[in-house]
Amino acid sequence: MVSKAIPDIVVGRLPLYLRALSFLAAEGRQVTSSQELGQKLGISAAQIRKDLSHFGEFGKQGTGYDIKYLSEQLRRILKVTEEHEVALVGAGDLGHALVHYDGFAGKGFRISVVFDNNPQKIGRRLGTFEILDSESIETIIADRGIEVAIVAVPPNAAQEVVDALVRAGVKAILNYAPITVKVPEGVQVQYIDPVIHLQRMAYYL
Amino acid sequence: MVSKAIPDIVVGRLPLYLRALSFLAAEGRQVTSSQELGQKLGISAAQIRKDLSHFGEFGKQGTGYDIKYLSEQLRRILKVTEEHEVALVGAGDLGHALVHYDGFAGKGFRISVVFDNNPQKIGRRLGTFEILDSESIETIIADRGIEVAIVAVPPNAAQEVVDALVRAGVKAILNYAPITVKVPEGVQVQYIDPVIHLQRMAYYL
DNA sequence: GGGCTTTTGTGAAATTATAAACATACTATA
DNA sequence: TATAGTATGTTTATAATTTCACAAAAGCCC
């Protein structure tokens, strides 16, 4: 394997591999194979081997992959060995669900601050967090060096929030608002919109 | 254009086009171009034209696309002109957020029944819905002919819920549980897992 | 230890997807 | 009515991705 630019589509599959490995580990399994992983994920075994080969040699011929070892390697590659602090903007129903979501634990992320622009909500608690004024996004996020944020605000507020996050130095944004936002070079955005997924499936109904 | 099997990746972009068109329409715009749409979505104009060409000719040379007309056509293609009834399984925080989410309106989907397996919750209300026993998924969904469902239950319950949905005749499942589930041929599953998106972005931090 | 089985890592081949290029058609304007 | 300017739909070219195929390495069993 030679170090080259890794295709983004490959990077996008690594978290799926890691997730599948976590489940196998939880079942007490020690070793797996590209074939088994592929079966579980609906991906060809060859593709999994090829994807991993971009980063090194993690398996043993005739045996497969040590689950614990490969998980560690993937976590290292994805830079999720330590937990990233995440800023959440939007303390509505979705923000509430995200704050209480236990799926972030051990996966490399931890919500550590919550913002909202509603004066009714500012100063109140959401879970263990005090809801902070969105006006303070820039200073607080910059001060704390947070570089990951989740946007869970209505669509008409999303671009404005994203702009503030970018100014604060955030480099990765997970946007639940159903609009495509503009960000400068060097800032990543990923989108979660249930309607997009549902409409895509509706085509095949 | 000749009718052939449409690449899934093309189908996956249609909802994005439709979403962008909705925004333009909301701004009072009448006409747009592949170039403008591409700019807004971060997709090349050629790709948009090519994607649309799989389904017909919707534009006018020298002018572009009539926003209302193209939206109608995309809705027809995606089969979201009428609203699909959606069954929601899981009345936790996420289910709560989904029931109150106003982003489904006018997009082709409407949550119309809610299930949970927690005896504490069954019979109570979630928004305007009475929470029904998950045990009744099969009969109720089959009776009402629902073919779209959203799974918002903990990972350890997800496969079981999916199995029940499949038996009930559901053909499209949006799964918020962070596990890859097994479904028979002919049943679609799409996944929403914030951790996957965050980990993918973390690679580039 | 030798033969058999398994499974990796990886080039080469096949497939699929994206981008570029362009002929054609339409609008607007003078 | 002629001309210039746009923007489509489609063809062609380029690039990216996936699959295939196989040598090599490791384990297992007698």
3-class DSSP assignment, residue B155: helix
Instruction: Indicate whether B2 pLDDT > 80.
Output: no
d(Cα B55, Cα B45) in Å, to the nearest integer?
A: 16
Touching check for B179 and chain A: CB below 8 Å?
yes
pLDDT band at A5 (very low <50, low <70, confident <90, very high): confident
Cβ–Cβ under 8 Å, residues A112 and A89: no
Mind listing the pLDDT tens digit for each residue in A169-188? 999 999 999 999 999 999 99
Of B18, B132, B105, B147, whose CA–CA distance to B70 is shortest?
Answer: B18
Q: What is the pTM of this model?
A: 0.94
Give residue B190's pLDDT. Answer: 97
| Record: contact A97-B100, CB cut-off 8 A | no
Domain A84-197 CATH (choose: 3.40.50.300, 3.40.50.720, 1.10.3720.10, 1.20.1070.10): 3.40.50.720
Report if CB B56 to strand C is under 7 Å. Answer: no
Mind listing the pLDDT tens digit for each residue in B120-176? 999 999 999 999 999 999 999 999 999 999 999 999 999 999 999 999 999 999 999
Q: How far is the CA of A31 from the C1' of C4 (A)?
A: 22
Calculate how close chain B gets to A33, using CA atoms only, in Å. 17
d(Cα B147, Cα B113) in Å, to the nearest integer?
A: 12
Touching check for B200 and chain A: CB below 8 Å?
yes
Cβ–Cβ under 8 Å, residues B160 and B142: no
The pLDDT mean for chain A works out to: 96
pLDDT band at B113 (very low <50, low <70, confident <90, very high): very high
Give residue A124's pLDDT. Answer: 96
User: Which carries the bigger pLDDT value, residue A38 or residue B3?
Assistant: A38
Q: Per the structure block, which two tokens stand in for A173? A: 């944004």
Strand B129-133 with B125-126, pairing: antiparallel
Of A90, A85, A193, whose CA–CA distance to A151 is shortest?
Answer: A90
With pLDDT > 90 as the criterion, what percentage of chain A qualifies? 97
d(Cα B106, Cα A122) in Å, to the nearest integer?
A: 32
pLDDT band at B5 (very low <50, low <70, confident <90, very high): confident
Q: How far is the CA of A142 from the C1' of D12 (A)?
A: 50
3-class DSSP assignment, residue A109: strand
Calculate how close chain B gets to A163, using CA atoms only, in Å. 16
Calculate how close chain B gets to A72, using CA atoms only, in Å. 14
Instruction: Indicate whether B77 pLDDT > 50.
Output: yes
Of A158, A164, A165, whose CA–CA distance to A181 is shortest?
Answer: A158
Distance in angstroms between the alpha carbons of the first and the last residue of chain A? 43
Concatenate the DSSP letters of all residues of B2-18 into one string: ---PPPHHHHHHHHHHH
Residue type, A70: L
State the sign of the Cα–Cα–Cα–Cα dihedral B72, B77, B83, B86.
negative
Architecture of domain A8-78: Orthogonal Bundle (1.10)
- A:34-63 Cβ neighbours of strand C under 7 Å: 34-35, 45-46, 49-50, 52-53, 57-63
Mind listing the pLDDT tens digit for each residue in B78-95? 999 999 999 999 999 999
Give residue A161's pLDDT. Answer: 98
Q: How far is the CA of A191 from the C1' of C26 (A)?
A: 37
Burial class for A61, CB neighbours closer than 10 Å (0-12, 13-18, 19+): exposed
For B80, which of A20, A92, A202 is closest by C-beta distance?
A202
Mind listing the pLDDT tens digit for each residue in A50-99? 999 999 999 999 999 999 999 999 999 999 999 999 999 999 999 999 99
Instruction: Indicate whether A4 pLDDT > 90.
Output: no
Instruction: Indicate whether B36 pLDDT > 60.
Output: yes
Domain boundaries, chain A: 8-78, 84-197
| Record: contact A20-B192, CB cut-off 8 A | no
pLDDT band at A6 (very low <50, low <70, confident <90, very high): very high
3-class DSSP assignment, residue B193: coil
d(Cα A190, Cα A194) in Å, to the nearest integer?
A: 13
Give residue B1's pLDDT. Answer: 42
Instruction: Indicate whether A3 pLDDT > 80.
Output: no
* Residue spans of alpha helices (H) in chain A: 8-26, 34-41, 45-53, 67-78, 93-100, 137-144, 155-168, 194-202
